[in-house]
A = this chain, B = another copy of it.
Amino acid sequence: MTSDKYEIISELAKRRGFFWPSYEIYGGLSGFVTLGPLGSLLKRRIEDKFRSIFVNPLGILEIESSVIMPARVFEASGHVDHFKEPMVKCGDCGRRFRGDHLLQENVGLSDTETEKLNLQDLFDLINENKIGCPNCGGEFNESKNFLTMFTTTIGPYSESIGYGRPEAAQGIFVEFKRLYEYAREKLPFGAVQIGHALRNEISPRQGPIRLREFTIIDLEFFLDPKKDQCPILNTVEREPLRLIPAERKRGGDQESIEITVRTALDKGYIKAEWLAFFIALSKRFLVELGISNDKQRFIEKLEWERAHYSTQGYDQEVWLDRWGWVELSGHNYRADYDLKCHMESSGVDMRVFAADEERIIIDDLIVKPVMSKIGPLFKENASEIVNQLSKVDPRDLVQSFKDNGSYKLESFEILPEYVEIVSVPVEKTGRRFIPHVIEPSFGSDRLVYATLEHSLKMKEGRTVLSLPRDISPIQLSVFPLVSKDGLPEKAEKIRQILVGEDFIVEYDESGSIGRRYARANEIGIPLNITVDYETLENETVTLRDRDSWKQIRIEIKNLPALLEDYFKYKTDFEDLRDKD
């Protein structure tokens, strides 16, 4: 048996329905993975765990927007210019490859080193090192930066370009105004989107780690840069983190230091309290998925490694058996980059107003009645109209003129030519500014894979997925000891009771009971319920623990309440017993 955990998990994942390469019957399509019945459930449980840690307690707003987005969004965000990878083409067979990957594999350059190279340097280095085409050995004669967004057209006009979104963040930024309104125009607030994203990788590898289509979790937290303290920092400040700040990395040191969130802030390793807060939550999140602190680290991005929008960035990395440290989440201080881009590109003001000590001049609208029109037209009512007009919000007037061509003032119709709407400078106390953004971002598929790998245990030669009980895709299995004498019918009834209580339950009557236990262990079912002859006599079943293999007997009528407590971590297996 192989000892490479990636191979073990991939084989298990395929055989037991966690995930497998998509489109196998058509010879496969690299970069696409299908989540099977167990993988899809596991992913949803991981996402729900994310919600229970990040979204619900903080009142983060979850939205859902489209995967296909109009070109203007990604022109504004800088993706059309920056979301590219260096590609080289073989002069003989015409196959295309990622230039930086070739240098990493053949010359041993690190990610950090290839990030620094421009396209020409990279191409020169490939030729200097005489790296041949992996397919035919030929020489590379062409290099270009390849846009790694999927391109399409929207509607029947070919000039209407659309892109498959490479992340879900822009879908939040373009909706900022509506979300800010929903948040009652108060900062800070966060919005999150969990959904498919697309990256048209040149030559994807590494199974579920690098995909062309995957699920991303993008959380955008908007704040006032002048009031950026995190009032709930005390809930995480003693949390220890394994950190590699940029200054250590620059000195060539790749060892992490273990310090608390508080210290990381005090020493200036993390530049914003909310950034530190989310980093701490992310660590806890992965611990709750079963990935212990010593298998995680946070590594700061050096300047040339950071994305174009980021002013400080940390990657949360997890140790994976085959690839070493792999990024599972990114934490970026995006500042006002995105909102500013969309504000400039759309012409829509994305600034917010904070009523505080500074005095500023802002432009405000006022309505001036045109008396030469109103007087002759409305005669004795003219002064009342002028009086009423002074109470109308000028914005309502502008909007109504736009929508209806006129404005209804009680029984009078006000046409645009009756008024002059002018912009005047007004002094106010407060500031107008573009909110800053802190972004934690996860990939669901990597979380699924890392959770599986870190749950892998061997016990007496058997594979056991020791998934946390609230993460295991299937919670319970119900087995009749034998497939006769009414035991299957009784077991099916118990399954129905539990399904009615919203548990996810599998029924299995095939093979020996030992084989069924082994199969349940292999897919991580925390508890197995067995129906035997005694069940028919006294309405009790046995409950078997996945990890200790211990068994206890429980009355069927007590099952739902006991199991509910167990899956909510209110009780442990050892303490499960009938309470009569």
Binding site for B on A (CB under 8 A): 14, 16-17, 20, 22-26, 29-32, 34-37, 39-41, 43, 52, 56-57, 59, 61-70, 72-73, 87, 96, 146, 150-157, 162, 164, 171, 174-175, 177-179, 182, 184, 191, 195-196, 198, 200-203, 212-213, 342, 345-346, 348, 496, 499, 502, 504, 506-507, 510
Q: Which residue of B lies closest to A61 (CB)?
A: B37
A–B complex contacts, Cβ < 8 Å, 8 sampled: A17-B178, A25-B346, A34-B63, A36-B182, A67-B67, A96-B157, A150-B162, A153-B200
Rounded to whole Å, the gap between the CB of A45 and the closest CB of chain B is 12
Q: Is A65 a contact of B34 with CB atoms below 8 Å?
A: yes
Q: Is A68 a contact of B150 with CB atoms below 8 Å?
A: yes
Q: Which residues of B contact A62 (CB under 8 A)?
A: 37, 40-41
Q: Is B154 a contact of A212 with CB atoms below 8 Å?
A: yes
Q: Which residues of B contact A191 (CB under 8 A)?
A: 37
Q: Which residues of B contact A174 (CB under 8 A)?
A: 22-23, 25-26
Q: Is A507 a contact of B29 with CB atoms below 8 Å?
A: no
| Besides the known contacts A25-B346, A43-B64, A155-B202, 10 further A-B residue pairs in the complex with CB atoms under 8 A apart | A26-B70, A34-B64, A35-B63, A36-B178, A37-B179, A37-B182, A39-B64, A67-B198, A96-B156, A156-B200
With A61-B37, A178-B20 known as contacts, the answer to whether A342 contacts B25 (CB < 8 A) is yes
Q: Is A35 a contact of B64 with CB atoms below 8 Å?
A: yes
Q: Is B178 a contact of A59 with CB atoms below 8 Å?
A: no
Q: Which residues of B contact A66 (CB under 8 A)?
A: 22, 32, 34, 196, 212-213
Q: Which residues of B contact A73 (CB under 8 A)?
A: 23, 26
Q: Is A69 a contact of B178 with CB atoms below 8 Å?
A: no
Q: Which residues of B contact A31 (CB under 8 A)?
A: 154-155
Q: Is B202 a contact of A156 with CB atoms below 8 Å?
A: yes
Q: Is A25 a contact of B68 with CB atoms below 8 Å?
A: no
With A25-B348, A146-B156, A154-B212 known as contacts, the answer to whether A67 contacts B196 (CB < 8 A) is yes
Rounded to whole Å, the gap between the CB of A139 and the closest CB of chain B is 18
Specify which of A31, A43, A70 lies most central, judged by the most chain B CB atoms within 10 Å of its CB. Answer: A70
Distance between Cα atoms of A67 and B197 in the complex (Å): 9
Distance between Cα atoms of A69 and B32 in the complex (Å): 9
Distance between Cα atoms of A346 and B27 in the complex (Å): 9
Q: Which residues of B contact A342 (CB under 8 A)?
A: 25
Rounded to whole Å, the gap between the CB of A557 and the closest CB of chain B is 16
Rounded to whole Å, the gap between the CB of A25 and the closest CB of chain B is 4
Rounded to whole Å, the gap between the CB of A464 and the closest CB of chain B is 20
Rounded to whole Å, the gap between the CB of A110 and the closest CB of chain B is 24
Pick the contact of A34 from B175, B201, B345 — CB < 8 Å?
B175
Distance between Cα atoms of A156 and B70 in the complex (Å): 21
Rounded to whole Å, the gap between the CB of A490 and the closest CB of chain B is 17
Q: Is A196 a contact of B198 with CB atoms below 8 Å?
A: no
Pick the contact of A496 from B57, B68, B155 — CB < 8 Å?
B57
Q: Which residue of B lies closest to A71 (CB)?
A: B26
Q: Is B57 a contact of A499 with CB atoms below 8 Å?
A: yes
Distance between Cα atoms of A179 and B196 in the complex (Å): 22
Distance between Cα atoms of A14 and B177 in the complex (Å): 12
Q: Which residue of B lies closest to A350 (CB)?
A: B25
User: Shortest 9 CB-CB distances between A and B: which pairs?
Assistant: A37-B61, A35-B64, A25-B346, A66-B213, A17-B182, A96-B156, A34-B65, A25-B348, A40-B64
Pick the contact of A65 from B35, B72, B153 — CB < 8 Å?
B35
Q: Which residues of B contact A162 (CB under 8 A)?
A: 150
Distance between Cα atoms of A348 and B157 in the complex (Å): 38
Rounded to whole Å, the gap between the CB of A496 and the closest CB of chain B is 7
Q: Which residue of B lies closest to A175 (CB)?
A: B34
Rounded to whole Å, the gap between the CB of A31 and the closest CB of chain B is 8
Q: Is A63 a contact of B87 with CB atoms below 8 Å?
A: no
Q: Is B41 a contact of A507 with CB atoms below 8 Å?
A: no
Q: Which residue of B lies closest to A16 (CB)?
A: B182
With A34-B65, A504-B56 known as contacts, the answer to whether A23 contacts B70 (CB < 8 A) is yes
Q: Which residues of B contact A200 (CB under 8 A)?
A: 153-156
Q: Is A67 a contact of B213 with CB atoms below 8 Å?
A: yes
Q: Which residue of B lies closest to A96 (CB)?
A: B156
Distance between Cα atoms of A56 and B72 in the complex (Å): 42
Q: Is B154 a contact of A152 with CB atoms below 8 Å?
A: no
Q: Which residue of B lies closest to A144 (CB)?
A: B156
With A29-B70, A499-B56 known as contacts, the answer to whether A184 contacts B510 (CB < 8 A) is yes
Distance between Cα atoms of A200 and B56 in the complex (Å): 35
Q: Is B499 a contact of A171 with CB atoms below 8 Å?
A: no
Rounded to whole Å, the gap between the CB of A44 and the closest CB of chain B is 8
Pick the contact of A196 from B23, B152, B196 — CB < 8 Å?
B196
Distance between Cα atoms of A295 and B154 in the complex (Å): 35
With A96-B157, A154-B29, A202-B156 known as contacts, the answer to whether A213 contacts B68 (CB < 8 A) is yes
Distance between Cα atoms of A177 and B150 in the complex (Å): 29
Q: Is B152 a contact of A151 with CB atoms below 8 Å?
A: yes
Specify which of A29, A153, A201, A202 lies most central, judged by the most chain B CB atoms within 10 Å of its CB. Answer: A29
Q: Which residues of B contact A178 (CB under 8 A)?
A: 14, 17, 20, 24, 34, 36
Q: Which residues of B contact A17 (CB under 8 A)?
A: 61, 178-179, 182
Pick the contact of A177 from B25, B72, B179, B506 — CB < 8 Å?
B25
Specify which of A39, A64, A496 lies most central, judged by the most chain B CB atoms within 10 Å of its CB. Answer: A64
Distance between Cα atoms of A230 and B175 in the complex (Å): 48
Q: Which residues of B contact A157 (CB under 8 A)?
A: 96
Q: Is A212 a contact of B68 with CB atoms below 8 Å?
A: yes
